[in-house]
Amino acid sequence: MPTPVPVRTQLRRYNLETLWFPLTFGLFLGLCLIKFGNPVILDHRIDSPVTLDEWMTQPWPARWANMMLLTLGLCGVLTAKKGTLRGFGSLPRWVWGAPAAWLGWQVVSGGYSVDSGLTRQTLPHFACVIGCFLLGATVLTHRGWPQVLFIGLLAGFCFVLVRGMNQHFFEFRRDYQALVEGEKSGWKDFPAETLRRMEEEGLLVPSANGPQVRETILYKLQKGRINGTLVYPNALAGVILLLFPLSLALAITWTRALRPFLRYLVIALVAFLGVGCFYWTGSKAGWLIALAVGSLSIWNRFPGSNRRKVGVMGLLVAIGLMMFALRFQSYFKQGATSTGARFDYWRAAVETTLDHPWVGTGPGTFQRPYAARKSPNSEMARLTHNDFLQQASDSGLPGAITFLAWIGLVLHRIWSRMPDGLPGAVALGVTGWFLQGLVEFGLYLPALAWTGFTLAGVLVGLTREIPSTSQRQPDKASPSV
């Protein structure tokens, strides 16, 4: 990978024409992490904020993010120098061809949608995903490694982690106690407007003795799985898988000029926030993916022979699996209910694909066929919890194949160049997030999908002049960052 210019050096050479877009786009992605962490298919249920408190604490409608991205992207393209877009020609044709084929089939599938409303919410989001990827591959990388992009992005990530910590140590315990005491007292200290809002949000259910707290809400609060600003805990785990390797690498590299005590304090704080929040999300699949990504990191960066690397990897996996068994022993004693539910989602997705192999049921519409196919004991689900199977169910086999080909080409392009340093950390995060797509629905969350595909585009854009490992001279070391 190209050697990056340190942030301080970039700022000393400050040029509004070259720095404004990566800096602004990073701030936008940070805002997405904070305000646009809900699935796009639920956008109709997100009310526009009115009061100052709602603006600060509530999520914003995803349609706002679409307009922000469109405006910002157009400004970035129109103000970019001619050489920026000409450099796009040095990238393989699949960089634009694969996502264009995928989006084109989504549009075709949308014409046969069983719920046009859900499809109208999903298609603009997919177009924005591709826009982020192409901006990352062109405008954001036309002058090399865009470190200023990470200023706003990591500020938003830090906010998400601090919010998660607050949920674990204070918010969930306070809310649990307030709900239990409120129900015991007959809600005498709760205004009528507050009770009405709690009923609309599903926190309370009516009964003969007055409103009662929904049991699942109390169970979730008592269980204490944090979600930060995202829709639910596994989505927060996805953000951490995506951004924690980069955050830790930046904490190590950006603090070299500090005194040792301050440097180690910053590194320890970043590690505590990331690892702590990841642990308290309670994500089982995330834990296993983190082990896989950690093993990949050891194989790629650990010094020594292959035998030594395998030994270290084996030790890491053994310790990780042991901790996994201890952490989730109660979950497995209860029968691993969420795993069983996912198998039901996946079964329904496969059956829907077999019934509609060419165009599916329309982008974003999995919940419609699932309502008719789900097992009687399963909870209703709006998404498949597998981005690849959902593509097959929603847009048929052509949609799934083009999406899988796009992801496969991205990963091959990245890892065939064997990135080191900061690009290597970004590659680990992107790879981990793509793996989570096998069991989650990050593709349908603007906060995750736009950030993940922007970083994937950045990595692809930086490889335009880097030969693959098979083409490198054996006596030349890989460029380090």
- Each of the 481 residues of the chain gets a pLDDT tens digit; together they read 445 555 555 555 445 557 888 999 999 999 999 999 999 999 988 989 988 888 998 999 999 999 999 999 999 888 877 666 666 777 889 999 999 999 999 999 999 999 999 999 999 999 999 999 999 998 888 766 788 899 999 999 999 999 999 999 999 888 888 888 888 888 887 887 887 888 777 788 887 777 888 887 888 888 889 999 999 999 999 999 999 999 999 999 888 888 999 999 999 999 999 999 999 999 999 999 999 888 887 777 767 777 777 887 788 888 887 887 777 777 666 666 677 788 999 999 999 999 999 999 999 999 999 999 998 888 889 999 999 999 999 999 999 999 999 999 999 999 887 667 788 899 999 999 999 999 999 999 999 999 999 999 999 998 876 665 555 544 343 333 3
Classify residue 105: in a domain, yes or no: yes
Q: How many domains would you assign to the chain?
A: 1
Q: Which of 55, 327, 271, 281 is nearest to 164 (CA)?
A: 281
Q: Left (φ > 0), alpha (ψ -120 to 50) or beta: where does 212 sit?
A: beta
The pTM (predicted TM-score) of the whole model is 0.90
Tokens found for residue 76: 């970035």
- φ, ψ for residue 213 (rounded to 5)? -70, 135
Answer yes or no: are the C-beta atoms of 211 and 196 closer than 8 Å. no
Domain-located, residue 201: no
Rounded distance between C-alpha atoms, residue 345 and residue 339, angstroms: 10
* Alpha-carbon torsion angle 166, 168, 170, 175, nearest 10: 110
> Residue 348 falls within a domain, yes or no?
yes
248 domain residue, yes or no: yes
**Residue among 84, 95, 196 at smallest CA distance from 141:** 84
* Residues 228, 167 contacting (CB under 8 angstroms): yes
Distant-in-sequence, close-in-space partners of 184: CB < 8 Å, separation ≥ 6: none
**HSE (side-chain half, CA atoms, 13 Å) at 38:** 18
3-class secondary structure, 415: helix
325 assigned to some structural domain: no
Report the distance separating Cα 385 and Cα 397, nearest Å.
17
Q: Do the domain assignments include residue 475?
A: no
Within-domain flag for 216: no
DSSP code of 480? P
What gap in Å lies between CA 439 and CA 442, rounded to an integer?
9
The Cα 16–Cα 383 span in angstroms is 42
* 399-405 contacts at long range (C-beta below 8 A, 24 or more positions apart): 399/102, 399/105, 399/106, 399/109, 399/360, 399/363, 400/353, 402/98, 402/101, 402/102, 402/105, 403/102, 405/98
Boundaries of domain holding 448: 1-166+234-255+337-466
Q: What is the largest CA-CA distance in the chain?
A: 80
Q: Report yes or no on 199 lying in a domain.
A: no
